[in-house]
């Protein structure tokens, strides 16, 4: 069995807190996350997602545990990176501050849908086919 553990910001907490709050920003919470990472690795997790933690903390955890780390908003020093597709493509109305929107896909989709509705309304689509 391969287990992926996840520490730092977890999706269920975003709704509870109302925002994408960085985790491990003070000494106590950083120590707690560092200890959690070690405990999860020792318990048998095969890799660890670090989300929305300071770069230095992510680098320390990556250095100190024996399993690969995957960063999402955790700086460049993790073993791998992940970015949620909806954030990357700009499909949602809000993205976390650590995400990069490579395109504004939501706007592109809205524009395409509006054009479709306009063409149907103007009888431009579907085209008439010759029999």
Give the active site residue among 42, 51, 115, 119.
Answer: 51
Structural domain count of the chain: 2
Residues 70 and 101 in one domain: no
Angle value at C-alpha 107, between 101 and 112, nearest 5 degrees:
135
Which pLDDT tens digit goes with each residue over 47-56?
999 999 999 9
85 preceded by a cis bond (ω within 30 of 0): no
Residues 50 and 110 in one domain: no
Residues 56 and 98 in one domain: no
Query: Could you tell me the pTM of the whole model?
Result: 0.83
Residues 55 and 90 in one domain: no
Report how far apart, in Å, the C-alpha atoms of 57 and of each of 2, 60, 76, 88, 95 are: 25, 5, 11, 24, 22
Residue-range definition of the domain harbouring residue 119: 83-131
Active site residue 115: no
Which pLDDT tens digit goes with each residue over 2-30?
999 999 998 766 666 666 788 999 999 99
* Cβ atoms 77, 64 nearer than 8 A: no
Residues 36 and 22 in one domain: yes
| CA gap 92, 95 in Å, rounded | 7
């Amino acid at each position: 069995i391969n287990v992926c553990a996840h520490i730092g910001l977890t999706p269920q907490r975003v709704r509870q807190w109302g925002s994408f709050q960085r985790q491990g920003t003070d000494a106590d919470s950083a120590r707690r996350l560092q200890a959690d990472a070690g405990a999860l690795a020792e318990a048998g997790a095969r890799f660890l997602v670090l989300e929305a933690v300071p770069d230095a903390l992510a680098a320390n955890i990556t250095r100190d545990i024996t399993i690969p780390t995957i960063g999402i908003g955790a700086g460049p020093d993790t073993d791998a990176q992940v970015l949620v597709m909806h954030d990357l493509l700009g499909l949602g109305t809000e993205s976390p501050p650590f995400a990069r929107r490579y395109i504004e896909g939501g706007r592109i989709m809205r524009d395409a849908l509006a054009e479709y509705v306009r063409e149907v309304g103007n009888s431009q689509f579907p085209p008439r086919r010759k029999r």
